[in-house]
């Protein structure tokens, strides 16, 4: 399953869409080191930092820097990721968004989407599906201040819940380990 970065989705689908890629892509080594801008120190085009189970990732575009925090979900014994959770701002003036990518093997119907729950007993919040492409289906919700506070304070695991195409419930565990530090790093971005 190919996962697309927040920057590339913004460029392809528009400013209202976001997602992160499963594996950071490393640019090819340049033939010669790039020249530092006059009077300043050069900044890297792409940066990543790990905070527990979350990765803070930034990409430099033309005149803009886009950052996000991401967690890739994998199932033991399966090759490749099964889902991805990304939190970021595709446009600096917009609120934080949570985007979840799952395989395109999902059921549609009333209240179709992914539930982001704080454990087994929490009902969670519904992120409705926004689009499906061959590489996955994308659910999206604005991250309210209340939800952000709850995620920062949660010390146990969470669950992604959705219904697959065979109408079976799916519950994938995800971790909040490192989330507060990753969210702090994201908040420090200009």
Q: Which fold has domain 6-22+46-187?
A: Immunoglobulin-like (2.60.40)
pLDDT at 7: 35
pLDDT at 12: 29
pLDDT at 42: 60
Sequence spans of domains, the chain: 6-22+46-187
Strand order of the sheet with strand 46-51? 46-51, 54-60, 65-73, 83-88, 97-102, 136-142, 125-133, 113-117, 158-163, 169-174
Q: Where do we find the tokens 């300043």?
A: 40
Average pLDDT, the chain: 79
pLDDT digit string, tens, across residues 136-179: 999 999 999 999 999 999 988 999 999 999 999 999 999 999 99
From CA 158, how far away is CA 22, in angstroms rounded? 19
């Amino acid at each position: 399953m190919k996962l697309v970065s927040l920057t590339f989705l913004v460029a392809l689908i528009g400013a209202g869409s976001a997602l992160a890629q499963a594996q950071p892509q490393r640019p090819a080594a340049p033939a010669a080191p790039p020249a530092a801008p006059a009077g300043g120190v050069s900044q890297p085009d792409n940066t990543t930092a790990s905070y527990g189970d979350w990765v803070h990732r930034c990409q430099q575009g033309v005149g803009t820097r886009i950052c996000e925090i991401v967690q890739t979900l994998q199932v033991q014994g399966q090759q490749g990721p099964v889902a991805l959770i990304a939190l970021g701002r595709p446009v600096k003036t917009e609120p934080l968004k949570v985007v979840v990518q799952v395989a395109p093997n999902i059921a549609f119907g009333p209240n179709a989407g992914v539930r982001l729950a704080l454990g087994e007993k929490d009902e969670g919040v519904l992120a409705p599906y926004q689009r499906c492409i061959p590489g996955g289906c994308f659910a999206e919700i604005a991250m309210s201040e209340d939800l952000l506070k709850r995620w920062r304070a949660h010390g146990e695991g969470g669950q992604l819940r959705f219904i697959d195409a065979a109408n079976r419930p799916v519950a994938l565990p995800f971790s909040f380990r490192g989330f507060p530090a990753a969210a702090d790093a994201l908040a420090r971005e200009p």
